Amino acid sequence: MAARELVETTRADVAPRRRGALVRREIFWGYFFISPWIIGLLAFTAGPLLASIYFGFTDYPILSGPTWVGLENYEKIFGSDRQFGASLWNTAYFVLIRVPLHLSLALALALLLNRAVRGLGFFRTAIYLPSMIPIVALAVVWRVLLDPRTGYVNYFLSFAGVTPINWLTSQEWAKPVIIFVSLFHVGIAMIIFLAGLGSVPEHLYEAAAIDGANPFQRFFSITLPMITPVILYNLVIDVINSFQVFAYAFVMTKGGPADASLFYVLYIQRQAFEFFRMGYASALSTILFLIILVFTALLMRFSKHWVQYDRI
Amino acid sequence: MASALAGAAAGAGFVVSAGLAASAALAGAWVGGAAAALAALGTAGHMQHTYANGGKYWNDELSKITWNAPEGVEAMEYLLKLVKAQVPKYEDLAIASEAGRKDVIQITDWAPEKFVTMINGSWGFFNMKQQAAHIDYSVFPFPRNANSANSKGFTANSGGWMFSIPKAAKDKDAAWEFIKFTTTSERACWFVKQQNRPSPVLACNEDPELSRGNPYWKVVTQDLQNNVMVPHSPVSPQLQDIYWKMEEDVMFQKATPKQALDDAAREGQKLLDDWNSKRKK
């Protein structure tokens, strides 16, 4: 009895110390294994981010060093820059139209591909495949297809009596066309939705079927609530990516016609690498960073009203 | 900063025509081989027509924007009339890759229509041969305004290759000698000849071997003599952005020629003033 008490007392004394050492060792190895990522984050994300914020307060024409100018860049941006407003509006248009379209399409495709049908692997591959195409290649191909005189799009539309449309050179069409082309990368969001759909317990559908729920009721009462965390993830990623739209316009329209497709990041690129105004471009970048930060924070803040983590 | 023209983008402003869907009324106003041309719009259209009309985009001291002077306004009004006479919408002239910016009509886009366009360098002949060998074309000097005594049909050279010697360079004299060697020496003549390009040294262009049987080589050399160098500054790319936008605003009929030119001049002037004030410091 005495021996047993001794053992238990010793255990009680030693266990916290050993546990503490174990935890510290685990923490060390944890940080050790994620250190490449941490170094990458500091060197390639946090470092440039801080540098960019600093350069935003300077006049930095690259060939000579940065000169501190305080808020001058921001005064110009908000005071007299005609293209700042235009690029912001174009980007907002892209985000507002593209994000709901993209997510709806991705979810619809995921729902279709979540069914047990013959050739499912083929369909999944076929729909995902365009997402593997680099944006530049996709944009170049579509630029050729949309050529008003020689492109296949107008050629096929001509059979329906449609007169040739200047898809990329008309102010009305340039943005919608870019949004359309960007939807070809729907596969990535679709795959994530597909994974989310796969995690919805089958027994919920069985119970609903027994209760006589029709497919729409099953979708809105079971599927949609169950995948809200996945929807939130895709939404946040999509909003961030859409605010940073660049390559489509860079390749297809160069921001034209008459700035109709001058997106914000394209404008930053123009300031930085065509006008060599690194300070000004950095200030624009900081503003975009803040806009994205606010939108992301708002999405996360309001997510608690509609995202249901506890159900999965 | 000293600079010298190294590789002439000569011929910035001569016109190639492949047939012509011309407007007779307009043809009366400007004379030259391609008077009623759907001349190059976008980047250089208004600039070239302004210089051809006896105007300038800014003064030689780079202190004052002058593209909104009467010569510039006249040139823009002419271009707008030209576009309206040729196509229902400006966007019909634009090409997809640049969408109203840069070279509006590309040789590859000529297809079955009759077009007149401006090519910006002697490489245009090579492009024609490579991409549009089937097109029967002619080349003419840039048109001039027959109604204006000031209009000499000069063309603006706003591109090309520049060698620059920075103020802080250690050995400026040696750099200057090198620039002279690469631009005006006998070897420089040989160098541009190998590339089938015209030289800034007019005598080099007389070499019959340089034309290589090109019947339009004389237009190139003639254009070089009528070529006006446009002075540049570090804010030139921003000015370019302003005057491209100005031209698009007119062509897409967002503003009248006078309005667009004045607005753009104000913006450009601010930029020049800002740059000049920093330069003086």
Taking the C-alpha atoms of residue B231 and residue B162, their distance in angstroms, rounded to an integer, is: 11
Do B143 and B15 contact (CB within 8 A), yes or no? yes
A15 in reach of chain B (CB within 8 A): no
Chain A and chain B share a number of CB contacts under 8 A equal to 77
Among candidates A174, A252, A256 on the partner chain, residue whose Cβ is nearest the Cβ of B101? A256
Taking the C-alpha atoms of residue A269 and residue B240, their distance in angstroms, rounded to an integer, is: 16
pLDDT of residue A70: 94
| Residue in chain A lying closest to B244 (CA) | A258
Query: B156: closest CA among B5, B4, B280, B10?
Result: B10
Among candidates A59, A149, A276 on the partner chain, residue whose Cβ is nearest the Cβ of B109? A149
pLDDT of residue B115: 61
pLDDT of residue B280: 67
pLDDT of residue B4: 31
ipTM of the complex: 0.72
B106 in reach of chain A (CB within 8 A): no
pLDDT tens by residue, A159-211: 999 988 888 888 899 999 999 999 999 999 999 999 999 989 989 999 998 99
Among candidates A143, A149, A277 on the partner chain, residue whose Cβ is nearest the Cβ of B97? A143
| A170/B95 touch (CB, cutoff 8 Å), yes or no | no
Q: Walk along chain B (281 residues) and give the pLDDT tens digit of each residue.
A: 233 333 333 333 444 443 333 333 333 455 443 333 343 344 457 888 899 899 999 999 999 999 999 999 999 998 888 777 767 777 776 554 344 444 433 433 444 455 666 666 777 787 777 776 777 778 888 888 888 888 877 888 777 677 888 888 899 999 999 999 988 888 999 988 888 888 878 888 888 887 777 888 888 888 888 888 888 888 998 998 899 889 888 888 889 999 999 999 999 999 999 999 987 66
Do B221 and B202 contact (CB within 8 A), yes or no? yes
Q: Which of A166, A266, A268, A271 to mutate to test the interface with B (most CBs of B within 10 A)?
A: A166
SS (HEC) of chain B: CEEEEEECCCCCCEEEEECCCCCHHHHCCEECCCCCCCCCCECCHHHHHHHHCCCCCECCCCCCECCCCHHHHHHHHHHHHHHHHHCCCHHHCCCCCCCCCCECCCHHHCCCCCEEEEECCCHHHHHHHHHCCCCCCEEECCCEECCCCCCCCCEEECCCEEEEECCCCCCHHHHHHHHHHHHHCHHHHHHHHHCCCCCCCHHHHHCHHHHCCCCCHHHHHHHHHCEEECCCCCCHHHHHHHHHHHHHHHHCCCCCHHHHHHHHHHHHHHHHHHHHHHHHC
pLDDT tens by residue, B250-277: 888 889 999 999 999 999 999 999 999 9
The torsion angles phi and psi of B113, rounded to 5 degrees, stand at -75, 170
pLDDT of residue B234: 86
The answer on pLDDT for A47 being more than 90 is yes
The torsion angles phi and psi of B103, rounded to 5 degrees, stand at -70, 110
Among candidates B99, B237, B254 on the partner chain, residue whose Cβ is nearest the Cβ of A274? B237
CA B276 to chain centre: 25
| A256/B99 touch (CB, cutoff 8 Å), yes or no | yes
B208 in reach of chain A (CB within 8 A): no
A64 in reach of chain B (CB within 8 A): no
